[in-house]
Homo-oligomer: A and B are copies of this chain.
Amino acid sequence: MSTDHAYQRLQYLLLQELDQQRWKPGQRLPSIRQLCQQHGLSKATVLHALQRLEASGRIEARSRSGYFVRQNTPAELTPLPLRQAQPPTPAPVNVSELLADIMQRGAAFDLLPRELQQQQSIPGIQILNRSIGRALRQQQGVTHLHYDEPAGYWPLRQQLALRYQNDGCALTAEDLCITSGCQHALFLALKACCNKGDLVAVESPGFYGVLQLLEQLELRVLEIPASPVTGMDLEWLEKAARQWPIRACVVTPAFATPTGSLMPVEQQKKLLQLAEQMDFTLIEDDIYRELGFYSRPSPLKALDQQGRVILCGSFSKTLSRDLRLGWIHAGRWQSQVVRLKLVTQLASSRFVQQGLAAYLEDGHYDRHLRQRCITLQQQSEQLMQELETLWPQGLHFSRPQGGLCLWAEWQQPLDSLQLYHQALQASLVITPGPLFSASGQFGQALRLSFTQPCTGKRYQALQDLRKLINELSGTPASGRFASTTTARQSVRGFCEGSAERRLSGGAGSSHPTAPQD
Binding site for B on A (CB under 8 A): 100, 103-104, 107-110, 113, 116-122, 125, 129-130, 132-133, 136-137, 139-150, 179-181, 183-184, 187, 196, 209, 212-213, 215-216, 316, 319-324, 339-340, 342-352, 451
CB-defined contacts of A348 to chain B, threshold 8 Å: 324
| Contact status B118-A141, CB under 8 Å | yes
| A343-B212 contact given A129-B137, A139-B125, A150-B104, CB 8 Å threshold | yes
CA distance A339 to B120 in the complex (A): 32
CB-defined contacts of A118 to chain B, threshold 8 Å: 141
* A186 shortest CB reach to chain B, Å: 9
CB-defined contacts of A184 to chain B, threshold 8 Å: 344-346
| Contact status A137-B143, CB under 8 Å | no
Chain copies in complex: 2
CA distance A187 to B340 in the complex (A): 11
CB-defined contacts of A109 to chain B, threshold 8 Å: 145
CA distance A145 to B322 in the complex (A): 7
CA distance A350 to B320 in the complex (A): 11
| A133-B137 contact given A184-B344, A324-B345, CB 8 Å threshold | yes
Ordered nearest first, which 10 A-B pairs have the shortest CB separation?
A144-B320, A119-B141, A133-B133, A184-B345, A129-B136, A180-B345, A212-B343, A187-B344, A117-B141, A183-B346
In the complex, the chain B residue whose C-beta lies closest to that of A131 is: B136
| A321-B146 contact given A184-B345, A187-B344, A345-B183, CB 8 Å threshold | yes
CA distance A468 to B178 in the complex (A): 37
| A321-B144 contact given A139-B121, A183-B344, CB 8 Å threshold | yes
| Contact status B125-A144, CB under 8 Å | yes
| Contact status B346-A107, CB under 8 Å | yes
